[in-house]
Amino acid sequence: DVKVTQSSRYLVKRTGEKVFLECVQDMDHENMFWYRQDPGLGLRLIYFSYDVKMKEKGDIPEGYSVSREKKERFSLILESASTNQTSMYLCASSLRGSHEQYFGPGTRLTVT
Binding residues (CB under 8 A) for other proteins: these are: 4, 31, 33, 35, 40-45, 48-50, 56, 58, 90, 92, 94, 98-106
Closest CA to 79 of 70, 67, 89, 71: 67
Distance, in Å, from the CA atom of 58 to the CA atom of 97, rounded to the nearest integer, reads 19
- Do residues 94 and 44 lie in contact, with contact meaning Cβ atoms separated by under 8 Å? no
Nearer to other proteins, 59 or 79 (CB): 59
Distance, in Å, from the CA atom of 76 to the CA atom of 98, rounded to the nearest integer, reads 23
Nearer to other proteins, 3 or 14 (CB): 3
Nearer to other proteins, 10 or 62 (CB): 10
- Do residues 68 and 55 lie in contact, with contact meaning Cβ atoms separated by under 8 Å? yes
Distance, in Å, from the CA atom of 66 to the CA atom of 78, rounded to the nearest integer, reads 9
Shortest spacing between CB 72 and other proteins, in angstroms = 16
Shortest spacing between CB 105 and other proteins, in angstroms = 5
Shortest spacing between CB 78 and other proteins, in angstroms = 20
Shortest spacing between CB 37 and other proteins, in angstroms = 9
